[in-house]
A and B are shown apart, each in its own frame.
Chain A
Amino acid sequence: MKMLSAIWDNLKGLYSLLVGMCITGRYFFQPLKTVHFPRDVVEPENLASYRGPLELARGKTDESKTRCISCQMCAKGCPGNCITVVKSKEGKNPVTWLYDFTLCCLCGACVEVCPTAAIQFSHRLYLVSTSREALVLDLLKDLEERVAAGPLPAAGAGTPDAKKPEARMPDAGGPQKAAGGSAAPDPEG
Chain B
Amino acid sequence: MELSKISVLSLVELVVACLLVIALMVANAIVMVYAERKGAGFIQRRPGPYEVGPWGILQPVADSMKLLAKQLFVPANVDFLLYFLAPVLAFLPVLLLFLPIPFGPYLTALKVPDGVVLILAFAGFGLLANLLAGYSSNNKYGILGAGRAVAQGVAYEIPMILALLAVVFQTGSMNLSDIAEAQGSAPWRWNFLCQPLAFFIYLVTLVAETNRAPFDLPEGESELTAGFHTEYSGMGFALFFLSEYANMLLVSFVCATFFLGGYKGPILDGFWWTFIKAYAVMAFIVWIRWTFPRVRFDQLLNINWKWLLPLSILNLWITAVIIKLV
B307 at the interface (CB under 8 A from A): yes
In the complex, which of the residues B43, B288, B307 contacts A28, with contact meaning CB atoms closer than 8 Å?
Answer: B43
Number of A residues with CB within 8 Å of any CB on chain B: 16
Give the residues from 1 to 41 in chain A that come closer than 8 angstroms, CB to CB, to chain B.
10, 17, 20-21, 23-25, 27-34, 36
Among B43, B46, B288, B292, contact of A34 (Cβ-Cβ < 8 Å): B46
A182 CB to closest chain B CB (Å) equals 29
Max chain A CB contacts within 10 Å: which of B39, B42, B47?
B42
Q: How far is the CA of A34 from the CA of B47 in the complex (A)?
A: 7
**A-contacting residues, B8-65, CB 8 Å:** 39, 41-47, 50
Residues in B with CB closer than 8 Å to A25 are 287
Q: Determine the distance from Cα of A116 to Cα of B323 in the docked complex, in whole angstroms.
A: 86
Q: Are A33 and B46 in contact (CB under 8 A)?
A: yes
A-chain residues with CB within 8 Å of residue B291 when the two chains form the complex: 17, 20-21, 23-24
Shortest Cβ distance from A27 into chain B, in angstroms? 5
Q: Does B290 lie at the interface of the complex (its beta carbon under 8 Å from any beta carbon of A)?
A: yes
The chain A residue with its CB closest to the CB of B214 is: A17
Note all chain B residues with C-beta closer than 8 A to A29: 42
State whether A21 touches B47 (Cβ < 8 A). no
Contact with A24, one of B43, B46, B50 (Cβ below 8 angstroms): B43
B287 engages A34 (CB within 8 Å): no
Q: Give the chain B neighbours of A28 by CB distance below 8 A.
A: 39, 42-43, 287
Given contacts A24-B290, A25-B287, contact A10 B45 (CB under 8 A): no
Contact A20 B42 (CB under 8 A): no
CA distance A144 to B292 in the complex (A): 53
CB neighbours (8 Å) of A20 from chain B are 291-292
Assuming A24-B287, A27-B42, is B47 touching A32 (CB within 8 A)? yes
Q: Are B44 and A27 in contact (CB under 8 A)?
A: yes
Given A10-B307, A36-B50, CB of A30 within 8 Å of CB of B45:
yes
Which A residues lie within 8 Å of B307 (CB)? 10
Q: Whole-angstrom distance between the alpha carbons of A30 and B39 in the complex?
A: 12
Residues of chain A lying within 8 A (CB to CB) of residue B44: 27
Q: Is the CB of B45 within 8 A of A21?
A: no
The reply to whether B45 and A33 contact each other, CB–CB distance below 8 Å, is yes
CA distance A25 to B288 in the complex (A): 10
Given A24-B291, A28-B39: 4 more A-B contacts, CB < 8 Å:
A17-B291, A31-B45, A32-B41, A33-B46
> Could you write out 27 A-B pairs with CB less than 8 Å apart?
A10-B307, A17-B291, A20-B291, A20-B292, A21-B287, A21-B288, A23-B291, A24-B287, A24-B290, A27-B42, A27-B43, A27-B44, A27-B45, A28-B39, A28-B42, A28-B43, A28-B287, A29-B42, A30-B45, A32-B41, A32-B42, A32-B46, A32-B47, A33-B45, A34-B45, A34-B46, A36-B50
